[in-house]
Homo-oligomer: A and B are copies of this chain.
Amino acid sequence: MVDKNFQRCLLSIFGAVIVTVFVVFNFPNPLSERAELLQCATNSAWCTSKNRILRHPTDAVLRHDHTSDVPHHPLDPLTIQEMNKVQKVIESFFNKSAYAVHSLVLEEPDKEVVLKWRKGDEPPPRIASVIARAAGKNYILTVDVESGAVAEQDTSHISGYPLVTMEDMESTIRAPLASAQFNRTIVERGVDPNDVACLPFSPGWFGKAEDGRRLVKLECFTIKDTINFYMRPIEGIIVITDLDTKEIIEIVDKGKHIPIPKGTGSDYRLAADNSAIIKLPNPISMEQPNGPNFVIEDNHLVKWANWEFHLKADPRAGVIISGAKIQDPVTGVVRNVMYKGFTSELFVPYMDPEEAWYFKTYMDAGEYGFGLQSLSLDPLNDCPRNAKYMDAVFAAADGKPYVRPNIICIFERYAGDAAWRHTEPAVVIGQEVREARPKVSLVARFVATLANYDYIVDWEFHADGLIHAKVSLTGMVIVKGTSYVNTNQVNDSEDMYGTLLSDNIVGVVHDHFINFYLDMDIDGTDNSFVNVHLQREYTKNNAPRRSYMKVNKTVAKTEKEAQIKLKLYDPSEFHVINPNKQTKVGNSVGYKLVPSGGTAASMLDPEDMPQKRAAFTNNQIWVTRYNKSEQWSGGLFAYQSHGDDTLQVWSDRDRAIENTDIVLWYTLGFHHVPCQEDFPIMPTVSSGFDMKPVNFFERNPILRIAPYVEKDLPICKATASA
């Protein structure tokens, strides 16, 4: 459900512009300094729109002057000052010749350094990790922020390209209009070239055609009569363009006979049709008049109830959770649970083999940057009223920093559910017991908009130790133009590769896979992965009961033993344990992975190129030996990658994974056969998984939480307008 190409284009412009926005609206500094950082003048449309957003009353929450940010924690992202230093080093490294920065982030210190660090310690040396291109070559550099020393890593053995920059997208989005052939085609289709908008889609890699040059495939739409131009594709036209030279390589046009859908009823804005607004008369709200129960120390360290974790935006992953620890209610000790967790890669293959569609097999994080594709959240509708917000500082293609405000929200949730409960009539114990406890959790939310699609990623922390990761899909289904306006026009033998959603609009069948990197460190780095297999066992001696389900635990010795496909009829639980630490009664402490829906598996042939490139979807669960460089399950250079640097490749090395530092990987999957309800904008669909303590605590860790009593709850009255 993600067409990143379009998003790329939009955000390429956005990327260049947001720097400006940042300066103009975020800094209480002199104007001269602002002007140096951001070029608002050249991007006034953006500045204006961002200006509007920033006026929203709750946008100011957590806002502060990022120019004076200093790192407090070894994992804090690079600050504006640090990025500016690094930018000068890069400029000088490339000797003032043309270059583009594709990524500029903190090179996280080695794990042992981070684990040893304590608040108040001297921070470890700050190193920047830079991915850049210059003169047609990929560069991986590390820059010592203080000394400016640069180290270069050999990239010649790695296929593919780094994620496209906003500037890449911006520079190609208008390229087709420079072609007379393209303009002719468009006019023949009855579209005014002034109404054309093209979106840059990643081409994948299928061999020769994509070899040796960085390509983009542009697909075009008309923006006439609706803001929801996604519903008005100029079907069948693909403009293949070289991202480095900007040269148009080929214009494919297979859609001459296909009318452009009219886009009727596709505008989803409130303002589009005020007469038809449906509103529940009595508002319902999550209220917390005393403020939240969490604090965010030093901009990134979130502390709530028994949890603490480091939270930051990342241009590629969206958000990164680090050092998630929970306090043991019995001993008071703060215990390690997860060293690092993030969405490592996505895979969104469309199921249409035709020429304008077959290559649509996106890997959003590695091709476009899941974090780069975010926009500020709507403070009352993306997140509840009690949320606090966090900004991102990202680098533009010139290496200079910009701020993207409010792309993460953090809030406590109470949804009316019980954390535990029991009622006991008085019969046995002489008194009736009715004990129930409210379930309150903490959510860290991030939303990426990949052109048409919106991905909402929630990390939810529960006081009972459970971490729930959830991905919700909404936004627009990318559609295909068709000549049909009714299914009765379709020949039985014809495959539309999707559902007729509206006149001349087909929602093409596709999948979404989201792969999570979960570096679990249960009470320390040395952990094991245990397959807790549930198998049918037969009783003996003509017992009345013939069969039962028996638990059989197997510790995975090597990576291949931990390549797991979920099996409903041959089930297992999947535990990460610390074999060196037991509870009082002798169980190894651990956490288990619990899928909850979203278990769709990839249906592509394993040897199909898109599948090889996204081979992390070959299994649902993987466990690898910790290797700092193995973070991006679709490969470091995912764009046009050949599938030679994937989780499958690493895992096939079959390294020992018993009682050592291991990383768990889990892939959430959705099959999406579109339906008319997805038009023109799709109601949210969610799935997720839990990381759940299993013999981690000696007993229920929330046994002693307090129930709600009336006198503690807020006193609320309706506002005048309600």
Contact = CB atoms under 8 A, between A and B. Distances in A.
Interface in A464-503: 464-466, 472, 474-476, 484-488, 495, 497, 499-503
Interface in A639-689: 671, 673, 675-684, 687
Contacts of A265: 699
Interface string A400-431: 00000000000111111111111111111111
A432 B280 contact: no
Nearest to A352: B548
Given A545-B609, A585-B503, A610-B545, A695 B722 contact: no
A511 interface: yes
A206 B293 CA distance: 55
A684 B419 contact: yes
Contacts of A280: 293, 305, 412, 440
Interface in A305-337: 305-306, 329
B714 A698 contact: no
27 contacts: A11-B427, A223-B428, A227-B429, A229-B428, A268-B420, A268-B435, A278-B305, A278-B306, A280-B305, A282-B291, A284-B414, A285-B708, A285-B713, A352-B548, A385-B708, A417-B472, A421-B474, A422-B474, A487-B586, A536-B603, A546-B609, A548-B604, A568-B599, A585-B676, A677-B699, A683-B702, A712-B722
Given A284-B413, A351-B549, A546-B605, 7 more contacts: A45-B426, A229-B428, A270-B706, A273-B704, A416-B443, A500-B585, A571-B601
A28 interface: no
A348 interface: no
A50 B431 CA distance: 10
Contact of A421 (B209, B306, B381, B437): B381
A31 to B, nearest CB: 23
A676 B700 CA distance: 7
B431 A485 contact: no
Contacts of A680: 699-700, 703
Contact of A10 (B428, B695, B718): B428
Given A436-B378, A487-B586, A684 B417 contact: yes
- Interface extent on A, as a size class? 35 or more
B717 A421 contact: no
Contacts of A548: 349, 351-353, 358, 497, 604
B708 A380 contact: yes
A495 to B, nearest CB: 7
A550 B358 CA distance: 13
